[in-house]
A = this chain, B = another copy of it.
Amino acid sequence: MAEKPANTSRCEGDAAGKVKTRYRRHAAGEDPAKRGQILKGAMQCFMENGFDATSMNEVCRAAGVSKGTLYVYFTDKVDLFEALVAEERDRMFEGIEALLKQDLPLREKLVLFGRLMVEVLCSDRVIRSQRIVAGIVERMPEVGARFYDVAARRNNASLAELLERESAAGRVDIPDIDLAASQFSELVCAGIWRARLFGKRETPPSTAEIETLVQSAVAMFLRAYEKHAG
């Protein structure tokens, strides 16, 4: 939408100087705007009905693209789906690393981290993605595994890094850093994330709710791992 191509998009087939066409227009399946348009429509459909129950015709209609064109940009239904999941998974926790770079006391950092985590993980969009991916793990294991790896584990990694530093500085006493990171991530969503995933709760948590959850989680976490004054 807001992002126009902006890149030059050379024709790629004319290596070795054997130029035949000198057109600067986008090659057959390489207009990033059109690609984005397709992905957007596809996302809409897959989110509503999941992988199997979404037909390629629906996707065409939703994306406003002819079927022929669709199959120029993506070879397969699976190909399209995987591209979608990849995009979503990469976008999901974009800002989270930067967040921990700030110079703040541990408690504050945990609060910020926790807030963002609940907000993202329990948002409509992410919940729906997670449902679809979970539902298809059995048939496309690598897709699920990569989804988890990039989204959840990257998270844990940056949190673990923070905890590592705090541990080295002697401010906390954590026997198993990775476990602790997981525990915090899990604590912060206690009671809502699962409910959201299975549709028991139809709306994301309010900011007040988030605050309660995060404060409780941080308190619990620090009480367990912070070095006592004594």
Taking Cβ atoms with an 8 Å cutoff, the residues of A that contact B are 47-53, 128, 130-139, 141, 144-145, 147-149, 152-153, 156, 176, 178-179, 182-183, 185-187, 189-191, 194-195, 197-200, 202, 212-213, 216-217, 219-221, 223-224
Contacts and interface: CB of A to CB of B under 8 A. Distances in A.
Contact of A138 (B48, B137, B148, B190): B48
Question: Main SS of chain A's interface residues?
Answer: helix
Nearest to A221: B220
A183 B191 CA distance: 7
A71 B12 CA distance: 56
Contacts of A148: 194-195, 198-200
A148 to B, nearest CB: 4
A36 to B, nearest CB: 23
